[in-house]
């Protein structure tokens, strides 16, 4: 993989086997499980609180006019309709893979991201640049997606089960969905949406770049060290601004990804999704569900980052 390297830095993956081993060992030396635990904690807490809005976002994202889909007139109408028809269980449909996916994704993301950052800074006195933060976050995102994509496919399938009768639903739960998808569609089925998901790593990369730069510039304004601790309100502000920036920039990939993972539609690939969405719905088709997504992800990001910073500070102290 590429790496966010400074001048004169040895690449992680040179041609020599001994160099590869040495660099991997150096990279591994920067892996701290405290980042995994802190990221997992943040992802789980935010997901449990805000899952219903995630469900609404996905249902709007795949709303392409098929008759089988429920018709919703807005976020409140969608939430009220699901509550009236299915109760609390309906609003938390697909929560198990969402908790697993969010927890694993945030945990692995913070683990990989901080290890790559520490490797890149090894032996340097200067701070990483915005570009280096961007590349480190993109690498961490790609590595995380390779491990978690099957969970996200499962979550999407469970969220898009519209029947109120549990006996007619094709999937009974997360494990049942994973097994059935694998048996019926193979590994390819578990990795549907992987390509737009890879593009989606740009979302995390832009978010983390903005988050790091905002923290650093704010600490410079305060005349503090660039890695000085902030209070919870300051972390919330940095997280919210960075998330809004990332969502507004990259949202269309989430629509493409959700539609590829939807069991009710059949697309031949990413280009087919883009072509049909543009033909049938125009540019606005790529932004369906964005409002509910923004309402969900902004507080979710704030919760995740505050929990992460708090737990990682407790587990790792100042050695982050």
* Cβ neighbours around 83 below 10 Å, total: 13
pLDDT score for 213: 93
2 lies in some domain: no
80 lies in some domain: yes
- Domain at 230, CATH number: 1.50.40.10
User: pLDDT truncated to tens, each residue of the chain (320 aa)?
Assistant: 433 333 444 444 444 566 777 777 777 778 888 999 999 999 999 989 888 888 887 777 777 666 667 777 778 888 888 888 888 888 898 888 889 888 999 999 999 999 999 998 887 888 889 999 999 999 999 999 999 999 989 988 888 887 767 777 888 888 999 999 999 999 999 999 898 888 778 888 999 999 999 999 999 999 898 888 889 999 999 999 999 899 888 888 888 888 887 877 778 888 999 999 999 999 888 888 788 778 878 888 899 999 999 999 888 874 44
13 lies in some domain: no
What SS3 class is residue 296?
A: helix
* Cβ neighbours around 316 below 10 Å, total: 16
pLDDT score for 65: 63
Best CA proximity match to 160, nearest among 101, 74, 104, 90: 90
140 lies in some domain: yes
Name the DSSP class of 203. Answer: H
pTM (global) more than 0.75: no
pLDDT score for 7: 40
Residue 185: CB partners within 8 Å, gap ≥ 6?
A: 192
19 lies in some domain: no
Considering its fold, how many domains does the chain have in total? 1
- What is the distance between the alpha carbons of residues 91 and 119, in angstroms, rounded to a whole number? 42
285 lies in some domain: yes
- What is the distance between the alpha carbons of residues 255 and 232, in angstroms, rounded to a whole number? 32
What SS3 class is residue 319?
A: coil
9 lies in some domain: no
What residues make up the domain containing 61? 34-316
With contact defined as beta carbons under 8 Å apart, do 131 and 184 qualify? no
Best CA proximity match to 12, nearest among 21, 23, 4: 23
Structure tokens at 139: 């690498």
With contact defined as beta carbons under 8 Å apart, do 104 and 151 qualify? yes
178 lies in some domain: yes
pLDDT score for 228: 85
Q: Which residue has the tokens 């961490």?
A: 140
């Amino acid at each position: 993989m590429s790496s966010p390297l400074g001048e004169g830095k040895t690449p992680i993956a040179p041609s020599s086997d001994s160099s590869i081993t040495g660099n991997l060992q150096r990279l591994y030396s920067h892996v701290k499980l405290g980042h995994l635990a802190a990221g997992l904690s943040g992802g789980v807490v935010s997901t449990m609180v805000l899952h219903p809005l995630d469900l609404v976002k996905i249902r709007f994202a795949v709303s392409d006019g098929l008759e089988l889909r429920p018709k919703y007139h807005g976020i409140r109408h969608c939430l009220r309709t699901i509550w009236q028809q299915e109760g609390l269980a309906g609003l938390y449909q697909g929560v198990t893979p969402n908790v697993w996916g969010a927890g694993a994704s945030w945990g692995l993301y913070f683990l990989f991201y901080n290890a790559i950052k520490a490797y890149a800074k090894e032996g340097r006195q200067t701070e990483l640049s915005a570009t280096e933060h961007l590349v480190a976050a993109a690498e961490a995102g790609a590595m995380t997606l390779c491990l978690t994509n099957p969970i996200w496919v499962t979550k999407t399938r469970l969220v898009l089960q519209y029947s109120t009768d549990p006996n007619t639903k094709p999937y009974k739960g997360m494990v049942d969905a994973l097994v059935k998808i694998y048996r019926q569609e193979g590994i390819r089925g578990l990795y549907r949406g992987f390509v737009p998901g890879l593009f989606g790593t740009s979302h995390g990369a832009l978010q983390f770049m903005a988050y790091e730069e905002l923290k650093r510039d704010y600490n410079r304004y305060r005349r503090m060290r660039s890695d000085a601790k902030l209070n919870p309100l300051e972390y919330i502000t940095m997280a919210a601004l960075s998330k809004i920036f990332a969502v507004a920039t990259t949202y269309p990939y989430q629509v493409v990804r959700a539609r590829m993972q939807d069991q009710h539609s059949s697309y031949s690939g990413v280009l087919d999704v883009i072509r049909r969405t543009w033909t049938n719905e125009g540019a606005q088709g790529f932004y369906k569900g964005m409002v509910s997504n923004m309402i969900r992800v902004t507080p979710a990001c704030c919760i995740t980052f505050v929990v992460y910073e708090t737990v990682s500070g407790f587990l790792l102290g100042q050695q982050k």
